[in-house]
Structure 1
Amino acid sequence: MSELVSTGVEGLDSILTGGITERSTVLVSGNPGTGKSIFGIQYLHHGATEHGERGIYVSFEEDEADIRAAAESVGLNQFGELVDDGEVVILDKREMLRETDFSTAVDKLLDTLEGESFDRLVLDSLSMFQLFFSDEQEERTYLLKFSDILKSNGLTSLLINEQGAVFPDTEVGLENFLTDGNIYFIQTPTDSGVNRYVWVAKMRKQDIDTDIFPMDIGEGGITVHERAGGFSMMSQSDEPSF
């Protein structure tokens, strides 16, 4: 039986019946501001502080200073120390976008992995990563190759994906087929701000709870609450019935 990797998010591991299957690649989707990057930071922070697992944060969108600041904004102040100590390695946009081809970006990652031991990886974001490819066939080929590289190096990975819709899109994209699991972060506007939700739509080789659960972002990062949304699927045109 495969080992499970704890996400470090209170409530989410319960939905996942313990965590994410070791060496799997999980797609984390949502529109901007839903907490995807905070989830990635929290995932690496938890691995390093609670399990002695080293992590890599690969960002095509932010500088290292921005990532450190995001961690501090939710009280994960130890994250910067983990980076300083090499327990979490950040490959930011200055390094990853220095060249404009896929091979160079992957070589940078492989150079980091060579001779080192890492357990967790976050890629932020897949949307920018896909700009390397000119057509769907090339994208499929290289995403499969990239996923194989991550697994062969023993990494349990989160691939962050930006989507424009508020609700999960019913159109299944190429990346959904090439990952082992899909987690969606959702937010809906209210008179006083926003309501936030998480939906684990798919996780291969695992029994999961596919309801939509409320969550919030506060001191310490993301917390997922037990009260379910009462439905398992919705499209952009559906009215929420929480």
Structure 2
Amino acid sequence: MALEKVPTGINGFDPIALGGLPSGRCTLVTGSTGTGKTLFAMEFLARGVAKYGTPGVFVTFEEPPADLRRNATSLGFPIEQWEAEGKWRFVDASVDTSQESTTTGYYNYAALVSRIESAVNTINAERVCIDSIGAVLARYPNVASVRAELFRFVSHLKELGVTSVVTAERLQEYNGVSKLGVEEFVLDNVIVLRNVLRGERRRRTVEIVKFRGAPHRTGEWLFTIDPIDGLVIIPLAFLRPGTHASTERVSTGNPGLDRMCGGGIYRDSIVMLTGPTGSGKTLTGLKFTQAAFDAGERCLLYTFDETLEQLSRSAMGWGLDLAAMQQTGRLRVVSSYPETASIEDHFLNVRREIETFQPRRVVIDTLSALERIVAPRGLLDFVLALSALLREGQISSLYTSAPTGRFTSSLTPAIASEIASLIDTTITLRYVVRAGNMHRVIAILQHRGSGHDTAIRQVAIDDDGMHIGDPLPDATPLHDEEDYTP
């Protein structure tokens, strides 16, 4: 018989845990400094109260309750109110650990268990958090004593019938699970939080090492700590099954491209536009934006490649006054260099803009710029999470991306290949050589659910924008930058 699961309510964690933590058992949450152990414990209790109406007891060995209440305020958790309502109870063991001699070689677990039992019974608690057990385990003279006493303590928690989270420290990210090396063997479940420095940037991940007798997803999952939303596992916090597919068509802003797409793109489409530098990606994004503006729709234009001033200057060259468009309230332009934040924080910023501005269209120019700050898996998680949000809101969206190098034989960048199954329409802009001259061309590689033009067509760019012309037969792709002779 499958173990019952207790949902944590933590953003994106329960899909990894396939429903939550095993009911009535103890889960070890271990991690180095700054990984979010206390926050995980806090959210497990707080979201249990807020979402599921299950009272909880928080046992603290380090931070006093006053500090924990204050920290919870930014996340919108009214701890003091819950205490008054009998939904939350603190057991402050920080005084005990500070007063007992560190040389005594033991800790009075019996007294602590009695206090926890009293708190649990007083408010009928179903969840208990212990933060952090490492403050006590270090007092024991040897590993055998640690294991025996920890087993006794965990057994008492199980007898109370609560689902508990116990936090503990670890010294290294990929060498062992816990600091003393025995905690993970005593407790039924083990979750590891990591905060790894890679490429001069930190990357937080969560991994379920074991659920004794219960299934779970394996591997490391990217997460961030948001000052408002707390722990957010990306992309699982945002992946939801779709419920509707639109049949309404909207314009791309280019009549020729609309004709190639069979009359435009579907309202809830996500379009990937790829091409080397100078091929017309930003211009297409600006025209896509203008199409939204002309239709009376809100559009969010997010650029990772240029400043607002540079983008406005380029737009003005094609007759688009971005400042005037923004003043109407129908356009919001956000310029953010990739290096100013982590990929997770960039995602949360884009998400917040979408939630506050409520656009009908979104342009991201370009995904390629984000490759400077993140590994391919991290960028894939970013796009997966963002695409899930856009689909849920039925927002017409355009991503742009460039292959590696100015001129490349690859039709699509790596990220475009990775997310091909998520994209509705894939359009590529290319440089080709014909009769000794270089030409721009455009082709539609994919247009899900609709007929489309399969020709490779010539493209011209002038002061009026991009013009799509006749098919260009016998064109040879320009493979490498050294093949280009100005």
Output the TM-score relative to the length of structure 2.
Answer: 0.44
Change (3 A) 1:55 1:95: farther
State the AA in 1 paired with 2:231.
I
SS at structure 2 position matched to 1:166: coil
2:48·2:54 contact (CA, 8 Å) conserved in 1? Answer: yes
Q: CA offsets, 1:200-241, max 9 Å, x none?
A: 1111122211111100111121011137xxxxxxxxxxxx99
Change (3 A) 1:17 1:215: same
Q: State the distance in 2 between where 1:168 and 1:20 align.
A: 25
Pairing partner for 1:222 from 228, 231, 239: 231
The residue that corresponds to 2:108 in the other structure is: 101
Change (3 A) 1:136 1:192: closer
Q: State the distance in 2 between where 1:141 and 1:42 align.
A: 29
Change (3 A) 1:241 1:199: farther
Change (3 A) 1:210 1:132: same
SS at structure 2 position matched to 1:121: strand
Change (3 A) 1:170 1:52: closer
The residue that corresponds to 2:28 in the other structure is: 27
The residue that corresponds to 1:237 in the other structure is: none
Q: How far apart are 1:191 and its partner, in Å?
A: 6.6
The residue that corresponds to 2:47 in the other structure is: 46
Pairing partner for 2:215 from 175, 195, 207: 207
Q: How far apart are 1:166 and its partner, in Å?
A: 3.0
Which fold has the larger relative contact order, with Cα–Cα distance below 8 Å and residues 6 or more apart in sequence? 1
How does 1:11-160 map onto structure 2 within 5 Å? Answer: 11-73=12-74, 75-97=75-97, 101-114=108-121, 116-160=123-167
Equivalenced residue count is 229
State the AA in 2 paired with 1:71.
A
Q: CA offsets, 1:73-116, max 9 Å, x none?
A: 4x233233223323111112345435553333223223323455
1:76·1:221 contact (CA, 8 Å) conserved in 2? Answer: no
Identity %: 25
SS at structure 1 position matched to 2:138: helix
> After alignment, is 104-113 or 23-32 more displaced?
104-113
Change (3 A) 1:166 1:122: same
2:25·2:188 contact (CA, 8 Å) conserved in 1? Answer: yes
SS at structure 2 position matched to 1:7: coil
Q: State the distance in 1 between where 2:194 and 2:183 align.
A: 19
Q: State the distance in 1 between where 2:134 and 2:53 align.
A: 30
Q: How far apart are 1:24 and its partner, in Å?
A: 1.1
SS at structure 1 position matched to 2:14: helix
Q: How far apart are 1:189 and its partner, in Å?
A: 2.6
User: Rg larger in 1 or in 2?
Assistant: 2
State the AA in 1 paired with 2:143.
E
Q: How far apart are 1:190 and its partner, in Å?
A: 5.3
Change (3 A) 1:96 1:85: farther
